[in-house]
Amino acid sequence: MKAGMRGRMIIIILPVVLTALALSTMTILALSVAAQRDRSATLAFEAARGYAGRFDAQLEARLAIPRTMARFMEANRSADRQEVMDGLKRVLDMNPTIIGADVGYEPEAFDGRDEEYRNAPGHDATGRFLPYWNRLAGSARLDPMVDMDISDWYLIPKRTGRDTILEPFTYEGVLMTSLMCPILRDGEFAGIAGVDISLEQMDREVSAIRVFDSGYAILASAAGRLVSFPDKSRIGAAALADLGPAFGSIAEDASRRNAGRIEGTDPVSGAAALLCYAPIGTAGWTMILVAPSAEMYQDVERLAGSMALVAVASALLVSVAIVVAAGTVARPVVALSAMADAIAGGNLDARAPENQGGELGALARAFNNMTTRLDEAFTEVRLSVAELTRARAAQDALITELEDRNAELARFTYAVSHDLKSPLITIKGFLGYVLKEAECGDTEGLRTDIRRVDEAANRMSLLLDDLLELSRIGRISRPPTYNPLGDLAREAGAMVAGRLEAIGAELIIAPDLPVVFGDKERLRELLQNLIDNAAKFMGDQASPRIEVGADKGPEEPVFYVRDNGTGIDPRYLSRIFGLFEKLDQASSGTGLGLAIVKRIVEVHGGRIWAESGGTGKGSEFRFTLNENAVKAKEGAGNGRADP
């Protein structure tokens, strides 16, 4: 019962709560991870744009040099060639990052005096002004530029009329780029001014960029050539697209000057990485940040881990709480249930504890009220039933008594009619004979028959006396008193002293007889009749003895009057207390003595019976009295009436 209810509560509540907890945890985790990932990705992306801007500014700053040179050349038409070449030398000397500085004019475009400078330093064979101060070989020197009419670095600015940052190129093992600006004269293209810069410095700067722990930056040119890359051997040689499919997409998108981010693979480690790219506007180059996913989402994973931990801990806590709560909620209900079982089992004293609050306390109180009412009702019913039972028993006892009385009355009537008639028949009969004998003078016959009539009349008188006595017992009663039974026995013995003396009988009265409560005269008559009866049936006993005494019975004492006379045939033991029953017709008496004895014992609430070993073995009349009739003397004189 207990485990059942508690178990059911746990089985119902726990999965629901745990599922809800798991769902919410998963949702929060997913949202958090997404947000965190987004934040990391945005961070990386913004970093990419930041670096792109920085290098854009750097390139722009470098581009300012040739631009200034170009504007200068446009403004000072009068400057001579040597002056320009000296200026180039100064630019080279002043900027260590610049490997070369140059100007290149269209033929005759500078001052129309090319002829004069054929094969002069900084000029070609036609005398075209092409000075190129450089330190490609280490120390600074002046060279004429070559192949300019077939090279992009000259043709693109000439064609577009715009500043141009050339595709990086390797010269003497050094990756470089050229920043070229067109020199316009009266809106006409006259030549270019430019500087060559080493990209090694830029590569170092890009290589110094760290994204998270091991992430890095890649710099690619407009054509997709690698300008900065961890593997230096691939700089200038490999293209973006060579790094993987994601980089192909980046190259394509970057060519349209777009910024973006894409999930891809770190070309160095081969691990998953977020690739963020942003254009470097001036040069059309692309800055790419490789952010390793593992590092970028490290926080996210840590977050997920701790959240999972918290979720598991919460689940455990909630489980324990539910188990405990189920027990707490179930306990009073289980107690109520146990109480209901107890009540069903008949224990109406069972009560539920009322000390919890809320509905359960109210329920317990209601339950207890109900039980109390039930108990009261049951008690009433029990009392009623007990009363009914008592009344019924009393009624039954009354009916039984009434039936007994009726039967007794019938027996009495019958016996009286029979036994009173007998002496009448004798009297009338022998009076008839007396008349005949008187007529014929038979004096002997007369004497005999008159004696018969006389005896019959006497017997009838005795019979009437005894019948009257019998009818009075229990009907006419004197107030009961406390009487020592020993005294009564001695008085009874004195009343029949004559008969006892005549047969030489010894009467022995026990010394320890108790005090009995009842009608003194009747009790003495009882003992007298029994002693007389014993003396009457002594037979030819040589030493007749009659004992009066008491035995301790299981409930009340059993009194006895015992003799060593003729005894009683066991077949007739039950009949001897009947009205007019005489076992020996020759014996004196009316046959009512023992009936009177029985009646006296009965009105004193006792019973009487006879015991005998058989004819010639003596007999014993044993009787009890109502237990209330045998008690100590302290209650004497309370005037209680006999029923």
Partner 1 sequence: MDAQTHRVLLVEDNPDHAEMVMRSFREHQKGDAIHRVADGEEALDYLFRQGRYADPLSSPRPELILLDLRLPKVDGLEVLVRLKTAEGLKRIPVIILTTSESEVDLVRAYDGYANSYLVKPVDFDKFIRLMGDLGLYWLGWNHLA
Which of 502, 569, 614, 627 touches partner 1 by CB under 8 A?
Answer: 569
Q: How far is Cα 358 from Cα 339, in angstroms, rounded to an integer?
A: 19
CB 596 within 8 A of CB 470: yes
Tokens of 296: 């970028």
Least Å from the CB of residue 585 to partner 1: 4
Show the 3-state SS of 320-348.
HHHHHHHHHHHHHHHHHHHHHHHHHCCCC
Which amino acid type is present at position 29?
L
Identify the three-state secondary structure at position 192. strand
Q: How far is Cα 164 from Cα 551, in angstroms, rounded to an integer?
A: 150
Nearest Cα residue to 144 out of 120, 160, 169? 120
310 lines the binding site for partner 1 (CB under 8 A): no
CB of 316 or CB of 424, closer to partner 1: 424
**Mask: binding to partner 1, 586-625, rule CB under 8 A, as x and -?**
x---------------------------------------
Sign, Cα dihedral of 187, 188, 191, 195: positive
CB of 153 or CB of 430, closer to partner 1: 430
**Piece in contact with partner 1 (CB under 8 A), picked from 77-85, 89-97, 220-228, 567-575:** 567-575
> Mind giving me the DSSP string for 3-16?
HHHHHHHHHHHHHH
421: how many CB neighbours lie within 10 A of its CB?
A: 10
Least Å from the CB of residue 410 to partner 1: 9
CB of 183 or CB of 595, closer to partner 1: 595
CB of 233 or CB of 585, closer to partner 1: 585
H/E element, 408: helix 358-440
Tokens of 382: 């029990």
430 lines the binding site for partner 1 (CB under 8 A): yes
Least Å from the CB of residue 637 to partner 1: 46
Least Å from the CB of residue 576 to partner 1: 10
Nearest Cα residue to 216 out of 235, 225, 229? 229
Q: Residue with structure tokens 């934040």?
A: 39
**Piece in contact with partner 1 (CB under 8 A), picked from 51-59, 107-115, 431-439, 613-621:** 431-439
Which of 5, 307, 338, 431 touches partner 1 by CB under 8 A?
Answer: 431
Least Å from the CB of residue 469 to partner 1: 21
CB of 391 or CB of 425, closer to partner 1: 425
Q: How far is Cα 91 from Cα 133, in angstroms, rounded to an integer?
A: 9
Instruction: Specify the pairing of strand 545-551 against strand 506-509.
Output: parallel
Q: What is the CA radius of gyration of the chain?
A: 75
CB of 411 or CB of 499, closer to partner 1: 411
Least Å from the CB of residue 581 to partner 1: 7
Which of 49, 89, 234, 582 touches partner 1 by CB under 8 A?
Answer: 582
CB of 112 or CB of 441, closer to partner 1: 441
Nearest Cα residue to 136 out of 86, 98, 178, 168? 98
555: left (phi over 0), alpha (psi -120 to 50) or beta: alpha
H/E element, 502: helix 497-503
CB of 455 or CB of 602, closer to partner 1: 455
Residues of this chain, 433-452, that bind partner 1 according to CB under 8 A: 433, 452
Residues of this chain, 189-228, that bind partner 1 according to CB under 8 A: none
Least Å from the CB of residue 414 to partner 1: 6
Q: Residue with structure tokens 């001014």?
A: 193
456 lines the binding site for partner 1 (CB under 8 A): yes
432 lines the binding site for partner 1 (CB under 8 A): yes
Q: What is the DSSP letter of 215?
A: B
> Mind giving me the DSSP string for 177-231?
EEEEEEEEETTEEEEEEEEEEESHHHHHHHHH--BTTTBEEEEE-TT-BEEE-SS
121 lines the binding site for partner 1 (CB under 8 A): no
635: how many CB neighbours lie within 10 A of its CB?
A: 11
Which of 139, 233, 355, 585 touches partner 1 by CB under 8 A?
Answer: 585
Which of 392, 428, 472, 617 touches partner 1 by CB under 8 A?
Answer: 428
**Piece in contact with partner 1 (CB under 8 A), picked from 136-144, 271-279, 574-582, 609-617:** 574-582
Residues of this chain, 407-426, that bind partner 1 according to CB under 8 A: 414, 417-419, 421-422, 424-426
Q: Which residues bind partner 1 (CB under 8 A)?
A: 414, 417-419, 421-422, 424-426, 428-433, 452, 456, 569, 571-572, 580-586
